[in-house]
Amino acid sequence: MGEKHKGLALKDKVTIVTGASSGIGREIALTFAQEGAKVVLSARREAKLQEVAREVLGRGGESLVVPIDVSQETQVRAMVGEALREFGRVDILVNDAGMGHWGPVVDFKTEDWDEVFDVNVKGTFLCCREVLPAMIEQKRGRIINISSDAGKIPFIECSAYCAAKAAVIAFSRCLALEMLPHNIGVHVICPGYVDTPWYDNDPTAPDRSRMLKAEDIAQLALYLASLPSRVLIDEIVIQPRGMAMG
Ligand SMILES: NC(=O)c1ccc[n+]([C@@H]2O[C@H](COP(=O)([O-])OP(=O)(O)OC[C@H]3O[C@@H](n4cnc5c(N)ncnc54)[C@H](OP(=O)(O)O)[C@@H]3O)[C@@H](O)[C@H]2O)c1
């Protein structure tokens, strides 16, 4: 990387991105790599991650593919260990991996509820917990958690997802307080509709041409990741003009 990455916003910053195989996470990984970050690409689908890795390489960047399920403690621990072995440090963590199940509470399945919480909430917690010792030791770090506007406002037949994303917001704000003395910034982004593969098999999806683009979230994440450590921003809601939900 060396000379050619001089002047880039995230030059040599080691960044773990979960959910990097698709949509917002993929775009964040590519944007960060373009800005000089060494990106650890994580999600379950290895073939998709390898595609992103090739794209990173094509743009002159460096990456490490680590396929894991974020809800599995041992896999998360192994991923952080691999990142530290390869790059020696972790400067930024982006918790993007997420999923949902939808339906009325009256017949919502317990296993669906558990999966929504395991991926969105427990996955975020595990990834944060596992990178914290290295960040605390380094006396600096940046964590960006992707929640949703659904964590702030109700959507019908969306109870598990809304509750999980609200939990991500509450968790992030508590962690931000705990990390103040360690010079580690914790931000949470709450997007409204973003046009990603999330909606590929959803016939009820609203007009995708009116949604935000993944690059809108990636630019916001880049802004947060590049802030000087004196700046404290906890939560940002970003919605498409014309589809804002209040
Ligand atoms: N699109 C929207 O309108 C919108 C709005 C607000 C918030 N969000 C949030 O933004 C994030 C990204 O969503 P997206 O729109 O980019 O959707 P997407 O294209 O479906 O991407 C979801 C990502 O999460 C990963 N993932 C899911 N379950 C996982 C697991 N158990 N372990 C590891 N990775 C897992 C997927 O990778 P694998 O399948 O390869 O594991 C994929 O990379 C999610 O947290 C979502 O809740 C999206």
**pLDDT higher than threshold 80 for residue 71:** yes
CATH of the domain at 109: 3.40.50.720
Average pLDDT for 126-149: 98
Query: Tell me, what amino acid is at 130?
Result: E
**pLDDT higher than threshold 80 for residue 3:** no
**pLDDT higher than threshold 60 for residue 5:** no
**pLDDT higher than threshold 50 for residue 2:** no
pLDDT of residue 105: 98
Q: Read off the pLDDT of residues 190-219 as tens digits, 9 standing for 90 and up.
A: 999 999 999 999 999 999 999 999 999 999
Residue 243: inside a domain, yes or no?
A: no
Domain that holds residue 97: 2-238
Whether residue 168 has its Cβ less than 6 Å from ligand 1: no
Q: What is the dihedral of CA 131, 133, 134, 140, to 10 degrees?
A: 90
Average pLDDT for 103-129: 98
Residue 160: inside a domain, yes or no?
A: yes
Which atom of ligand 1 is the closest one to the Cα of 214? 16
Residue 244: inside a domain, yes or no?
A: no
Q: Is 161 a catalytic residue?
A: yes
Q: Residue 212's CB: how many other CB atoms inside 10 A?
A: 20
> Total domain count for the chain?
1
Residue 203: inside a domain, yes or no?
A: yes
**Residue 246: pLDDT band with limits 50, 70, 90:** low
Taking the C-alpha atoms of residue 240 and residue 219, their distance in angstroms, rounded to an integer, is 15
Whether residue 90 has its Cβ less than 6 Å from ligand 1: no
Residue 170: inside a domain, yes or no?
A: yes
Residue 161: inside a domain, yes or no?
A: yes
Instruction: Supply 49's token pair.
Output: 């991650």
pLDDT of residue 1: 41
pLDDT of residue 244: 76
Whether residue 21 has its Cβ less than 6 Å from ligand 1: yes
Residue 213: inside a domain, yes or no?
A: yes
Question: Which residue bears the tokens 């990387």?
Answer: 1
Instruction: Supply 58's token pair.
Output: 């094509």
Residue 90: inside a domain, yes or no?
A: yes
